[in-house]
Amino acid sequence: MNFLDSAIDTVRLGKFFAALALKEHALPALHVRPLVGELFLTENCNLRCISCSCWRETTRNELSTDEWKEVLRQLARLRIYKVNFTGGEPLTRRDAVELMGFARSVGIRHIHLNTNAILLTPAKLDEVLAAGVRSFNISVDGPGALHDRIRGRKGAFIRTIGHLRNVIAERERHDLKLRMNFTVMRDNVSALPEIAALAQTLGVRLYLNLATDQTFLFRDPAVSDQARVPADELAVALEKFEQVARKDARWLPRYSDLRYIPRHFDNIVQRGLPCAESQLKLMIHSRGEIGGCWGHDARFNVREVPIAEIVDAPSYRSEHARFFRKECVGCGSNYSLNLRWRPGTYLQDTLWRLGFRNLRSTSEAP
């Protein structure tokens, strides 16, 4: 990406977050159009994760290749900044790479892939990179056998880490953004220090997802069990994680993110922290449902209404104004984004680096 494009992107993001500040403090009815399309290319998956419910039934009547291409054309006309291809496991669709390349061809510059990396073979990685994907989230839910148990497939850890290493090897040549995603849940919370060490060994940014049964792909009693993380076990694991970070914080989440985690499991809504995530992303599901957010179901369908009409509809605008104020069920999705636009979190991070803050005392406001 050239300097001019980078400058334009910086200005657009700056205007977006400035608008959120106005929305919070002065103009609550201000409509902030989404910048990112969250595309659930399929809601089917090739793994059987205990923290997810999408594999427990087969989703049918998903958008065809041509229907997804029309969605991408409409998003390009809306000047969407970025599209995230996600699922389910998006690479289980045979047209996934074709659609990624099509997104690029219609003018969407930033293409992202969320994947468990099982299907991200060297040949597939070459195709994905050629299609224009330049950022990845790859899921790793524990070391070795723990990952395999959580993901429901023997050998998954070795395969995923091998494919993750291949992406790391291409990072500099293609200027890739890459994160390893670990979902904190009941059965793996004690592995937090080990996953921190793994991220540092690999040299890859670690992001901590937080288990929830509120979002649409996770509503299942078995997932609810995983979302009940014992506070004492979490405190011990985070203290050990913090010890790792004190020695070398590179590749690890910042202090503000870490101190949010106990709050999520104690009170999932966190109403005092406005939801930038709900304003940033336009959710489009595999059967065409559009709108809503992670915790609230969509009301429209791209098979019936043009996307531009949906995002400017009074019902969409009022609903997302409520989501911003956290008048919602809560989910914790992308809590890190919600924290990053709060100036006070950077002060807390600085105080932590100087030794004046630690995770044993988390009473400071975000």
**What letter does residue 155 receive in the DSSP assignment?**
T
C-alpha 166, offset from chain centre? 21
Q: What predicted TM-score, i.e. pTM, was given to this entire model? A: 0.96
We report the CATH number of the domain holding residue 244 as: 3.20.20.70
**25: in domain:** no
In a domain, 271, yes or no: yes
Residue 15: inside a domain, yes or no?
no
Secondary structure (3-state) at 290: strand
What pLDDT score was predicted for residue 50?
96
30: which DSSP letter? -
Tokens of 94: 């045979």
Looking at the domain assignment, is residue 363 inside a domain? no
pLDDT for the residue numbered 5 = 79
- pLDDT for 130 equals 98
**218 with 183: CB under 8 angstroms?**
no
> Is 246 within the bounds of a domain?
yes
Q: What is the residue range of 204's domain?
A: 31-353
pLDDT of residue 366: 56
Q: What is the pLDDT of residue 8?
A: 86
Q: Which residues of 124-150 are buried (b: 16+ CB within 10 A; e: fewer)?
A: bbebbbebbbbbbbbbbbbbeebbbbb
Q: 130 with 101: CB under 8 angstroms?
A: yes
Q: What is the pLDDT of residue 362?
A: 55
| Sign of the CA dihedral running 142, 145, 146, 151 | positive
Number of domains the chain is built from = 1
185, part of any domain: yes
Please check whether residue 14 lies inside any domain of the structure.
no
For residue 360, being part of any structural domain is answered with no
Strand, helix or coil at 210? strand
- Average pLDDT, 10 consecutive residues per value, the chain (366 residues): 82 94 95 97 97 93 98 97 97 98 97 98 98 98 98 98 98 98 98 98 98 94 96 98 97 98 96 96 98 95 98 95 96 96 96 95 56
Per-residue HEC secondary structure of 308-344 comes to HHHHCCHHHHHHHHHHHCCCCCCCCCCHHHHHHCCHH
Give the pLDDT of residue 3. 79
